[in-house]
Amino acid sequence: MKRFFESSAFLLIFGLVLFVSLANAQPTPKSVLGFVPTDDKTIADWGQITNYFAKLDAASPKVLVREIGKTTLGKPMIVAFISSPANIGNLERYRQMNAKLADPRTIKDDAELNNILANGKSIVSISCSIHSTEIVASQMSMNLAYELATATDAETKEILDNTILLLIPSSNPDGVQIVADWYKKTLGTKSEGTSPPELYHHYAGHDNNRDWFMLNLQETRNITKLFWQEWFPEIVYDVHQQGVVASRFTIPPFYDPPNPRISPSILREVGLVGYKMAADLQAKGIAGVASNSAYDTWWHGGFRSAPYYHNSIGILTEAASSNLMSPATVTPDQLKRSRGSRGLPSLVEPATNFPDPWEGGVWRPRDIAEIEMTASRALLTLASKYRGRYLKNFHSLGNANLKSDDTVPQAYVVMAGQPNNEAVARFIEILTFQGVEVHRMTNELWVKHSKTEDFHEIPLNSFLVFTNQPQKNNVLSLFEKQVYPHRVDANGQPDTPYDVAGWTLPMQMGVENYEVWDIRDLDKFRPTLEKVTNQNQVRASLNMPASQTAFAKHANPLKTAPRIGMYKPFTSSMDEGWTRLVFDNHQIPYKSISNEDFRQGRLDYDVIVLPADGETTILNGFGADRYPADYAGGIGDAGVENLKKFVENGGKLVCLDDSCELAIKKFGLPIKNVLSGVARKDFYNPGSIVKIKVDRSTPIGRNVLEETPAYFINSSAFDLSEPPPSGGGQSVGTGNPVRVVARYAEKDALMSGWMLGEKLINGKIALAEATYGKGKIVLFAFRPQHRGQTYATFPLLFNALEK
Ligand SMILES: [Zn+2]
């Protein structure tokens, strides 16, 4: 008799077991990558990450990976849906349920609502490494996905039954690739662990997380569509890293001030998630976790801020960084000397919001990953245990926004017949793309612009944006003037907001609009209002040709065809990137000029643009101590001399904000920045809209409104100075060498945001053109193209580019 293991029955069973186990084998990240993600000195690039997720998708009934669009540089962006097999099999059903909660008007009765609340799933998003040098989360995402797909414990099962996770391995895949390529190239050299010598988003660099209401970037649009047209996540968690010498982890609740347009209940829910994360981290003995510090909830345009205006909970966490994927060492002395951050003045003293300071030591990518995994689990556990509560709160907030509210305008009207159709069309497109409801008027309407005044007639084809819609707070926050609270300490020092103080979108875009406090016979007119569902409706209303693509490029506005060169430093200038975006969106041709081009005098252009970088950065660039020779140094003295020759011989130099400093000093222009050396307590404007008065008789000022909103962000204000001493350099031309194009308003210059010491800039020069040799130097004291948002002042920049 054969022994059993030789029998055919054994072979059959063995074969079956082998087949089943192989078929179900869920690939570990290591089996696909050859290393364990987040181990020291390993890095997976975007191709490896998407490859891993594709393999996990193929093997696991709990994971479904979908492409959500292409990046700016054409890479696939992906989301991994992770949930129980039953939920993954019914994703569309759960998506529809949740979309109904987002707009309570689509739910027909209590029975339908109760059915959704009983059977719907918490929709949670976790997104990684939008800031690509904050690289660990993108690597961690593979470990998180594998763990959720394979763990068999009761808690994981409960999470998968009750929640649908939308895991976004990176919100900026191009940047993951850039960082991975640079890290691999520099591993083992003096540059190991440094930032790459280019923007890690093609246009925006770090500012890619400042685009969430403007939607200039392809990546922002892809995720906005996924979130606010399709899935409406109740909780959005965006995973970041902060500096090396910092708290080990910063979590919500956030710091002051809160934006008044965020529901108090959302702020409480944000805090609850933070405390759950903190408690779980503490239970694991992880030290150095801080809450109520550094990051506030004022600013609207961040990944985790935008959800607040969609009635969702937005979470940001910031782990201390290592040196990309190489370990860092932090000494107790470094921690002691650190000045901390707002709300966290010391990294060594225990405080209620920081009860367990970290003592210092080696800090590895894996430490970061462990914290991020623990925080993610904490979030998912909450979302799962309180599933019904999250769904109910989400619905209630949307529902409350539908009720009439006489403390805010009933609607905003965006006027038809404005001269800048391109800006109006783009503005309406931005609103509708993020789910704001907009109506087009097919009949004249009579409205009151204030509570007390008489009814006025509004022209046909204007657009109405009602405030009583689920996104009420989004409408208000985008249309209203921001009034940042006056936050100064006893010495008059301003408390720096985390980002800018004001952003009123139609104002930045120069789009005329009015508050509407009453509408005559609204019920009679309502049927004549046409809901805007596609951009060609908008374009037809504005007598613009139809467009086949969303966010279509604008026509080139230039009358001449100047050969434009733009300085592109290795130090990753976000302003340079945004300027390129504005040029590309307007189909304005240009070439980038490198440090080497400046030094070698390869400046064969009509116009050279210097984006907003300071004199020292432009002159010196990166130091040779950490960067290879190819990337070290700036334009240097040789570059300055070549730039002078370029202008002397008839070229035009256009300087944006900070770069004016270099031109004023090196060209000896009879202009000074009146804010230079002024203390913050005497003047402070961290990002606000200010009023400028434009001289329309100048070539640069033509076709621009006489009073125009301009963007000021720690910017400049000029005055004429004494002529330079004789022998002190070049002549500054003959006659009147400086022509003033625009000045800051004489009074009430602040339009939206916060400004201390306005008197210092009232009436001062905001834009000037100086003659130098046969050429010209244009000095913008403000940012005419700030983050690609300021359509109101784009024409000034375009005019300045003309030959
Ligand atoms: Zn970040």
Q: What is the distance in A from the centroid of ligand 1 to the CA of 142?
A: 19
Q: What is the distance in A from the centroid of ligand 1 to the CA of 304?
A: 11
Q: What is the distance in A from the centroid of ligand 1 to the CA of 268?
A: 23
Q: What is the distance in A from the centroid of ligand 1 to the CA of 419?
A: 39
Q: What is the distance in A from the centroid of ligand 1 to the CA of 50?
A: 22
Q: What is the distance in A from the centroid of ligand 1 to the CA of 676?
A: 30
- Residues β-bridged to residue 456: 447
What does residue 163 show for φ and ψ, rounded to 5 degrees?
-125, 155
What does residue 597 show for φ and ψ, rounded to 5 degrees?
-60, -45
Judge residue 676's burial from the number of C-beta atoms within 10 Å of its C-beta, 0-12 exposed, 13-18 middle, 19 or more buried.
exposed
Q: What is the distance in A from the centroid of ligand 1 to the CA of 249?
A: 13
Q: What protein residues have CB closer than 5 angstroms to ion ligand 1?
A: 131, 134, 240
Q: What is the distance in A from the centroid of ligand 1 to the CA of 251?
A: 13
Q: What is the distance in A from the centroid of ligand 1 to the CA of 182?
A: 19
Q: What's the angle, vertex CA 39, arms to CA 33 and CA 42, rounded to 5?
A: 55
Q: Where are the alpha helices (DSSP H) in 120-263?
A: 136-150, 154-162, 173-186, 218-225
Of 411, 441, 468, nearest in space to 528 by CA = 441
Q: Give the integer Cα–Cα distance in Å for 68 and 225.
A: 9
Q: What is the distance in A from the centroid of ligand 1 to the CA of 52?
A: 24
Which DSSP state fits 603?
-
Q: What is the distance in A from the centroid of ligand 1 to the CA of 705?
A: 37
Q: Give the integer Cα–Cα distance in Å for 572 and 203.
A: 10
What pLDDT does residue 737 have?
87
Q: Give the integer Cα–Cα distance in Å for 35 and 53.
A: 15
Q: How far is CA 658 from CA 265, 573, 671, 711, in A?
A: 41, 12, 14, 13
Q: What is the distance in A from the centroid of ligand 1 to the CA of 574?
A: 15
Q: What is the distance in A from the centroid of ligand 1 to the CA of 471?
A: 26
Q: What is the distance in A from the centroid of ligand 1 to the CA of 126?
A: 14
Q: What is the distance in A from the centroid of ligand 1 to the CA of 209?
A: 8
Task: Kindly report the pTM of this predicted structure.
Answer: 0.95
Q: What is the distance in A from the centroid of ligand 1 to the CA of 206?
A: 7
Q: How far is CA 636 from CA 239, 596, 711, in A?
A: 39, 9, 30
Cis peptide before 506 (omega within 30 of 0): no
Q: How many CB atoms lie within 10 A of CB 545?
A: 9
Q: What is the distance in A from the centroid of ligand 1 to the CA of 242?
A: 7
Q: What is the distance in A from the centroid of ligand 1 to the CA of 131?
A: 5
8 Å CB contact between 147 and 377: no
Q: What is the distance in A from the centroid of ligand 1 to the CA of 240?
A: 4
What pLDDT does residue 729 have?
40
Q: What is the distance in A from the centroid of ligand 1 to the CA of 358?
A: 21
Q: What is the distance in A from the centroid of ligand 1 to the CA of 564?
A: 33
What pLDDT does residue 731 have?
43
Residues of the chain with pLDDT under 50: 20, 23, 724-735
Of 752, 711, 720, nearest in space to 739 by CA = 720
Q: What is the distance in A from the centroid of ligand 1 to the CA of 61?
A: 32
Q: What is the distance in A from the centroid of ligand 1 to the CA of 368?
A: 14
